[in-house]
């Protein structure tokens, strides 16, 4: 298995290491719920260096990114970021990504760990003959997520300017513990949070510095188990579970990341046709009406007929009820629609609800 530059920190802090997309990563520290509570009530620190990081620059880079991603890159000002998709010609999602505009002709793309090689290959394959320079910086650059209500206070001790000036989905190049890096106000938890992109050679120093700076705030290292639970409560999509190349952004409820008006892009024709006809299926959020824990792969029923499958599910510590996402035919996707979830051979009533399950105050 591959290891991030923070592997030694995880070992020393007692992280429970597991295989995640070919990476030896901490699934938890004190426990999934303890990690989760740290982020919801104070501040948690995640190693997300297994993600892929690709730089794209050059005179023709904006036009190139307009072609290979679904959102409107031209609308991003320098220092802004947005959520987007990379689709195949049929409109299927090759990956969901974050795009950061670092300069007039310079961007950073953050892609999923499981899709890194696929997306790097796709981008190089689609790159035009013009001035577009792509570089896979995943090994040279580490990524650390600082998330929770106290994250701004912790960042203030490290990068005061960034903590005071960054608004949601903004980024800035700055010095982080003596090294050049990027701080962005983005994250995967639904809480106030930041992601720090730093040279791999100083990742350990940055991690230790953040842990020290967050001591009074109750900072805790957190694993991917809590990260998955946190993202589900706010309805963020997980590639390989909720989306893949057989699902489209429109089916997944991510039409906001598709800018049809910007002109041609890979997958546009298929997505436009689907938009005009209406998707045959939709990803819905549901809550169980009685005790139970839905899980990925469990079947969804209505009137004795199987109508879909759970793509993500768990017990929400905050709501104290089972919550989940799943695809169903469009006619079953209306809010308030009652369905049944088969949990180990026993059907549990559930109701389709509006996302997010949790919204911070």
Average pLDDT over residues 1-21: 96
Residues 19 and 151 in one domain: yes
The confidence score (pLDDT) of residue 361 equals 79
State the residue for tokens 């030694």: 8
CATH number of the domain to which 97 belongs: 3.30.70.1400
Task: Name 55's Cβ contacts closer than 8 Å, sequence gap at least 6.
Answer: 106, 107, 108, 109, 134, 135, 137
* Contact present, 292 and 343 (Cβ < 8 Å): yes
**Residue 275, domain member (yes or no):** no
The confidence score (pLDDT) of residue 86 equals 98
The confidence score (pLDDT) of residue 353 equals 98
Cα–Cα distance measured from residue 152 to residue 356, given in angstroms and rounded to the nearest whole number: 23
Tell me the per-residue pLDDT of 187-219, one tens digit each, with 9 for 90 and over. 999 999 999 999 999 999 999 999 999 999 999
Counted domains in the chain:
3
Whole-number percent of the chain with pLDDT over 70: 100
Whole-number percent of the chain with pLDDT over 90: 98
**Residue 265, domain member (yes or no):** no
Tell me the per-residue pLDDT of 249-276, one tens digit each, with 9 for 90 and over. 999 999 999 999 999 999 999 999 999 9
Residues 126 and 66 in one domain: yes
Q: Show which of 176, 199, 233 is a domain's final residue.
A: 233
**Residue 22, domain member (yes or no):** yes
Provide the pLDDT confidence category of residue 287 given band limits of 50, 70 and 90.
very high
Provide the pLDDT confidence category of residue 93 given band limits of 50, 70 and 90.
very high
Provide the pLDDT confidence category of residue 129 given band limits of 50, 70 and 90.
confident
Pairing assessment for the beta strands 305-316 and 16-20 based on DSSP bridges: unpaired
Residues 226 and 144 in one domain: yes
Average pLDDT over residues 15-20: 96
**Residue 130, domain member (yes or no):** yes
Residues 103 and 225 in one domain: no
Cα–Cα distance measured from residue 50 to residue 60, given in angstroms and rounded to the nearest whole number: 29
Tell me the per-residue pLDDT of 43-62, one tens digit each, with 9 for 90 and over. 999 999 999 999 999 999 99
Residues 220 and 288 in one domain: no
CATH number of the domain to which 178 belongs: 3.30.1360.120
Residues 154 and 220 in one domain: yes
Average pLDDT over residues 73-95: 98
Query: Which ranges of the chain would DSSP assign to H, the alpha helix?
Result: 7-12, 32-41, 61-68, 116-126, 151-158, 160-165, 203-213, 224-233, 268-277
Q: pTM, whole model, 2 decimals?
A: 0.96
Q: Show which of 78, 102, 136 is a domain's final residue.
A: 136
Q: Show which of 202, 217, 233 is a domain's final residue.
A: 233
Domain range for 73:
52-136
Cα–Cα distance measured from residue 342 to residue 55, given in angstroms and rounded to the nearest whole number: 44
**Residue 94, domain member (yes or no):** yes
Cα–Cα distance measured from residue 281 to residue 333, given in angstroms and rounded to the nearest whole number: 8
Residues 154 and 30 in one domain: yes
Tell me the per-residue pLDDT of 21-43, one tens digit each, with 9 for 90 and over. 899 999 999 899 999 999 999 99
Provide the pLDDT confidence category of residue 171 given band limits of 50, 70 and 90.
very high
């Amino acid at each position: 298995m591959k290891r991030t530059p923070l592997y030694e920190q995880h070992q020393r802090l007692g992280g429970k290491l597991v295989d995640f997309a070919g990476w030896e990563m901490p699934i938890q520290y004190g426990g999934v719920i303890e990690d989760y509570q740290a982020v919801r009530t104070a501040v948690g620190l995640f190693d997300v260096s297994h993600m892929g990081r690709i730089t794209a620059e050059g005179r023709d880079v904006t036009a190139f990114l307009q072609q290979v991603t679904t959102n409107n890159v031209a609308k991003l000002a320098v220092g802004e970021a947005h959520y987007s998709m990379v689709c195949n010609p049929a409109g299927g999602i090759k990956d969901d990504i974050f795009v950061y505009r670092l300069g007039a002709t310079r961007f950073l793309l953050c892609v999923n760990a499981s899709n890194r090689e696929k997306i790097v290959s796709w981008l190089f394959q689609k790159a035009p003959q013009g001035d577009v320079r792509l570089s896979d910086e995943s090994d040279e650059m580490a990524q650390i997520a600082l998330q929770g209500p106290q994250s701004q206070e912790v960042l203030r001790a490290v990068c005061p300017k960034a903590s005071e000036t960054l608004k949601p989905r903004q980024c800035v190049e700055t010095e982080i513990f003596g090294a050049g890096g990027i701080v962005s106000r983005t994250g995967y938890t639904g809480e106030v949070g930041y992601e720090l992109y730093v040279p791999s050679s100083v990742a350990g120093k940055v991690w230790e510095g953040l842990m020290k700076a967050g001591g009074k705030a109750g900072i805790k290292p957190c694993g991917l188990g809590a990260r998955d639970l946190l993202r589900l409560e706010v309805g963020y999509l997980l590639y390989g579970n909720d989306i893949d190349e057989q699902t489209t952004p429109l089916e997944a409820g991510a039409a906001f990341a598709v800018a049809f008006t910007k002109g041609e892009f890979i997958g546009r024709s298929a997505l436009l046709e689907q938009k005009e006809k209406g998707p045959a299926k939709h990803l819905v959020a549901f809550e169980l009406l009685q005790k139970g824990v839905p899980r990925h792969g469990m079947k969804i029923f209505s009137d004795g007929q199987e109508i879909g499958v759970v793509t993500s599910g768990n017990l929400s510590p905050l709501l104290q009820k089972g919550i989940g996402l799943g695809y169903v035919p469009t006619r079953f996707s209306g809010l308030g629609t009652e369905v049944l979830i088969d949990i180990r051979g026993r059907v549990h009533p559930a109701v389709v609800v509006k996302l997010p399950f949790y919204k911070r105050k």
